[in-house]
Amino acid sequence: MRIINAATVAEERVKNGECRVAKVYAGTAEENLSAKSTEVYGKEQYKIGSAKWKNSAGYFALWDEIGAMQYSLKQKNAANPATSTELAAYYAKLFIDVQRQADDLLDITPFIANIIKAEDAQEVSYVRNWLPFVGKEEVISGTNDKAPLMDEAAAATEQIVQKIRAFGWKASVKYMAFAPIPVLQRVTEAAARISTDYRNAQMMDPINAVGSWGSKHAQAADAIGTTFDLKMYNTIRKARKTLGKLIHPMYTNRLVSSMAGFNAPGLLVHPNDLWDVQRVVSGFTAGGFVQNIASLPIGDIIPYACGIQHGETYGEETLSLPGVTAGKAYMFIPGQAMIVDKRDTTLEVGSGSVLELSTEERSWHRISGDNTAYLIGGAATNTGKGTIVEITWPTDS
């Protein structure tokens, strides 16, 4: 069992010595979407050096660099304009801050979905494009007979559609280069918050959209246990059995219990229920006749109540980024949803207007596609196919 939160994930990145590349892509969002080849305008590689980013030594060092580069750009004029290389290096530094700001937040998607980075992804592709080939072995004579050939997983015909996911900041490229540092810090922080919120929504929205879960895809609260902890324990134990009885949507008759991920299914919970779940999953000693209750085979437990900006006012709209409802939870097999990322968060950068530092408005965007067909399955129609079940917790009287 592992509790997933922003701090533990960040510490793991540092421990593993994770490196990244901040990239600035050439072309508009539309060009990026349809491009079959990748044209990188500029990039910078760096190693994650601290578990917490904001106000760390690395944070202040990066913004000192950005300030120095900004001062250098201000000295440019029409006779000696900023070069594309100089601008690319400047924007790459800003993107490092966006990436590292996001590290201080919780991105739940890698613990639920299979994340694939594919800069050459087509606008429309298929799940089967990312699955292993399928084949069989036959006994052959070795003379004039054919060996059976491997083939694509033909059953996986679900599409993954790449979508431009954009948000704007009303400012010119010139302003981005010359704005006061505190303003830019607020912009990059906002970019990290927005991209993290809506990345998480790529998983939570389809789960919440099910609404009424069919009986084959749901586990009611246990009513037999003599204590609240025993009821919680029995509910999780029964939920695992319910999950194991589902059929994976890709196959005709393959039980979820036959999959490797069934040995340690994940749990999405509301933070208010985390402690109740955590102590029960870990095993406990029951009262009355003393019973040592064994720990439950659960993998990652992910507390997620809502997005960072859930409930914030945006113009005349109240942002809605719901997570798990208190009293509910979801047990799932990791890696059955799929997210294919063509572009990380970047700015539209057209080489001509950038060199002129035009006053054209620019927008942040990322390009990503997802498919949750194998995760959700027929939860809404009670087909018994899928790799996730909804859990209702017992009440604590």
Per-residue model confidence as pLDDT tens digits over 219-253: 999 999 888 988 999 999 999 999 999 999 988 88
379 and 232 in a single domain? The answer is yes
pLDDT in tens, 48-91: 988 899 999 999 999 999 999 888 887 776 667 777 778 778 88
Burial of 258: CB neighbours in 10 Å, binned 0-12, 13-18, 19+: exposed
Q: 41 and 173 share a domain? A: yes
Give yes or no for a contact between 31 and 115, defined as CB atoms under 8 angstroms apart: no
Bridge-partner residues for 329, per DSSP? 269, 391
Whether 397 is covered by a domain: the verdict is: no
Four-CA torsion 82, 83, 86, 88, nearest 10 degrees: 120
Same domain for 86 and 114?
yes
Tokens, residue 289 = 């006749």
281: in domain? yes
pLDDT of 36 > 60? The answer is: yes
Q: What is the mean pLDDT of residues 92-119?
A: 92
pLDDT tens for 298-327 read 999 999 999 999 999 998 999 999 999 999
Number of domains in the chain: 3
**Within this chain, do residues 82 and 201 fall inside the same structural domain, yes or no?**
yes
pLDDT > 90 fraction of the chain, expressed in percent and rounded: 47
Region 380-389: mean pLDDT is 96
Instruction: Provide the token pair at 258.
Output: 């036959």
* 238 shares a domain with 176: no
Q: What is the largest CA-CA distance in the chain?
A: 87
Name the one residue in this structure whose structure tokens are 């010359």. 178
The whole-angstrom separation of Cα 381 and Cα 173 is 49
CA-CA-CA-CA dihedral for 244, 250, 253, 255, to nearest 10 = -10
CA–CA distance, 351 with 44 (Å, rounded to integer): 18
Q: Which single residue is written with the structure tokens 């939570």?
A: 204
Q: Report the first-to-last Cα separation within the chain, whole angstroms.
A: 27
Range of the domain at 182: 2-125+160-208+340-369
pLDDT of residue 139 exceeding 70, the answer is: yes
36 shares its domain with 19: yes
In terms of domains, do 289 and 379 share one? Answer: yes
When mean pLDDT is compared over 138-142, 206-210, 282-286, the highest value belongs to 206-210
Average pLDDT over residues 197-215: 95
Percentage above 70 pLDDT, the chain = 87
**Do 269 and 324 fall into the same domain?**
yes
- Dist. CA 84–CA 242, nearest whole Å: 57
d(CA 313, CA 320): 10
Residue 167: pLDDT band by 50, 70, 90 thresholds?
confident
Give the bridge partners for 367, in sequence order.
164, 343
Tell whether 217 and 296 lie within a shared domain.
yes
- How are beta strands 124-126 and 159-161 bridged, if at all? antiparallel
Task: State whether 110 and 62 are in the same domain.
Answer: yes
Nearest-5° Cα angle at 261, 3 to 259: 165
170-194 pLDDT, tens per residue? 666 666 667 788 888 888 899 899 9
d(CA 27, CA 32): 6
Same domain assignment for residues 19 and 97: yes
My answer on whether 348 and 378 are in the same domain is no
Helix (H, G, I), strand (E, B) or coil at 133: coil
Entry pTM: 0.87
Is the separation of the CB atoms in 199 and 106 below 8 Å? no
